[in-house]
Amino acid sequence: MASIRELHEQLVKKERSAVEITQEALERIQALEPKLHSFLHVTAQQALEQASAVDAKIAAGEEIGILAGIPIGIKDNMCTKGIPTTCASQILKNFVPPYESTVTQKLLDSGAVMVGKTNLDEFAMGGSTENSAYYATANPWDLSRVPGGSSGGSAAAVAADECVVAIGSDTGGSIRQPASFCGVVGMKPTYGLVSRYGLVAFASSLDQIGPFGRSVEDTAILLSAIAGHDPKDSTSLKVPIPDYAAGLKPDLRARGRLRIGVIKETFGEGLDSVVEQTVTKAIDQLQSLGAEIHIISCPRFRYGVPSYYIIAPSEASANLARYDGVKYGYRAPDVDNLLSMYTRTRSTGFGTEVKRRIMIGTYALSTGYYDAYYLKAQKVRTLIKQDFEKAFEQVDVLACPTVPTTAFKAGEKNTDPLSMYLLDLMTIPANLAGLPGLSVPCGFDNNGLPIGLQLIGKVLREDQLFQVAYAYEQSTTWHLHQPQIS
């Protein structure tokens, strides 16, 4: 499938119709889903109706926005009015929201065509999309491997050409990690840049919605469409939203002096040798494009994982307390008292990983342990943020691998959750500090699996990340590679 801009030009010139483009995506989904499982719900009827509305506008001579008629996938933890929103959990199996999330409403208003809701790890808790209550998603590059998580369905759908772009959410790397595993571009924006209204909460101080695309430009276009202040979200920032795709240039010298800092703590022990070599070559390429390269230390970077796995489960245990069988969602049958209903509803409605994190969080917040665990983790979070602030006094952008390895085999880490958590080593710190982060494809390993380069920027400098990523992308051919799946 072509890029957003190419499809837009075809629509405006009436070379193709929005219905034709949508049907192509739906046919691709129908052909691939039996083996890929990227989608939990395919909204074919609604998609064709949305596409027809775009065609009607074009026929009437009305101008259309750049996203009008573009097939898009939405992670199934964002509320969509009249369409199931399950969070890949049994406890929300029959939940149909009565309202639209801000992000999906913006996309509907732009004329984008939602082809379906994508699979995820239950309540966005996981790094492989194997924790879905319904089925695991496969990696389009190798169906025996995972696509990453928790936004694995969105990443796989874009990589497999089931949709042009997709929306995911990132709490500790859940956009960037699957983007790396699936060979696509993924962006976690600055905390507060994109409204979280209608996003089913996992860890409220960390969650952020962001875009996936096959190219940097597509990802930038999508972010411009979903970003912006929302009075329904108390954490939403009141800042002007630029056209991130405007003025993207293939030469970094065009923007003046650019300093890129390489985080030294992300290299060495625990990093796959091929990933290290590939990312190092990518950084050398950025230098050849005009960037100054500096080695930077973020000494508390490695403490991101232990602090995150106290803070995130603590917030999750509070957020998931609402799923009790009383208000909405699943309720256990054949119970004879209130306590039994609570217990059986939650024990059967939640999966193993969700229950594990609820228990960790509840323990960390309990009397006598709050200061020892949660409060200390928040102090470490502050120190990590201070390390970033110090680093950004010396450089404009930080660079490191997105993930220490390439995609692993399905089932490989199911019995060792700690090894799964450690894959978030490179991505978690940006969430803790509320910074924007982007993963861009930078090569392949010996098994033909994609490798991602992560760029981390200053608060609200998504434009700078897109510029660096675009210059790198245009100087290589990695973004032109596609998985051979049919």
Nearest Cα neighbor of 127 from 164, 165, 78, 180 is 180
Compute, in degrees rounded to 10, the torsion defined by CA atoms 211, 216, 217, 221.
20
8 A C-beta contact, residue 304 and residue 385:
no
Write the CA distances from 460 to 104, 155, 192, 222, integer angstroms: 22, 24, 10, 16
Provide the token pair at 339. Answer: 């306590």
Give the C-alpha separation, 152 to 38, whole Å: 8
Provide the token pair at 13. Answer: 């010139």
Cα 406 from chain centre = 17
List the catalytic residue out of 132, 174, 224, 314: 174
Sequence-distant (≥ 6) Cβ neighbours of residue 379 within 8 angstroms: none
Q: State the burial class of residue 229 (Cβ atoms within 10 Å of its Cβ: 0-12, 13-18, 19+).
A: middle
Can 486 be counted among the known catalytic residues?
no
Nearest Cα neighbor of 168 from 202, 217, 135, 133 is 202
List the catalytic residue out of 17, 38, 89, 150: 150
List the catalytic residue out of 75, 106, 117, 188: 75
Can 205 be counted among the known catalytic residues?
no
8 A C-beta contact, residue 453 and residue 275:
no
Provide the token pair at 232. Answer: 């329904």
Can 75 be counted among the known catalytic residues?
yes
Tell me whether strands 113-118 and 39-42 are parallel, antiparallel or unpaired.
antiparallel
DSSP 3-state of 118: strand
Nearest Cα neighbor of 295 from 316, 310, 308, 280 is 280
- What residues are labeled active site? 75, 150, 174
